[in-house]
Amino acid sequence: MTLGQGTRSGILADRMVDANSGTAISDEAAGQALAFLAEMSPDLRGAAILDSAGAVLAASDRPERWGEDVAALLEVADRAGGEPVEQIHIATEQGEVFAIRHAGLAAVAVTERFALASLLFFDMRSVLRDLASGNGGGEALL
């Protein structure tokens, strides 16, 4: 996989294109996906979905901050492992952070403590899979 112009190595993958129409994923579809994720994850404090260039497609608040913080998180994780990571889980006394890359997109979620990691990763991956396939985010799961 080659990196898009202006994309830093190891941060995000190529810009994902809807396989059915050849168009980029819309902010509206990403917003619907984020709303679905929030509905499915009651412990969610905040979340964002980013494209391959690191641009925030949808965020629970302050999109510019999510873009910067997600890029930094993924860069540190990639450097620590020596190669791009697919998923990240960080747990602290105050809460948990989950990040996942799938099909050229990235999703990050911040939750209350003791969120079910396997369930949240499943939901996040499903939402990204739906977005990447052009089904929006979450409709295929209903």
pLDDT tens for 20-65 read 334 478 889 999 999 999 999 999 999 999 998 899 999 999 998 9
Classify residue 50 by burial, with Cβ atoms within 10 Å: 0-12, 13-18, 19+. buried
CATH 3.40.640.10 corresponds to the domain 5-141 = no
Q: What is the mean pLDDT of residues 2-9?
A: 37
Domain extents for the chain? 5-141
Q: Is 90 helix (H, G, I), strand (E, B) or coil?
A: strand
pLDDT tens for 67-118 read 999 999 999 999 998 889 999 999 999 999 999 999 899 999 999 999 999 9
Supply φ then ψ for residue 44, to 5 degrees: -70, 130
Q: Read off the DSSP letter of residue 26.
A: P
Q: Residue 82 has what pLDDT?
A: 85
Helices (H), the chain: 27-40, 63-81, 117-133
Q: Residue 57 has what pLDDT?
A: 95
What is the dihedral sign for C-alpha 81, 122, 73, 70? positive
pLDDT tens for 81-92 read 888 999 999 999
- Please state, in angstroms and rounded to a whole number, the distance separating the CA atoms of residues 77 and 35: 27
Instruction: Record the pTM.
Output: 0.78
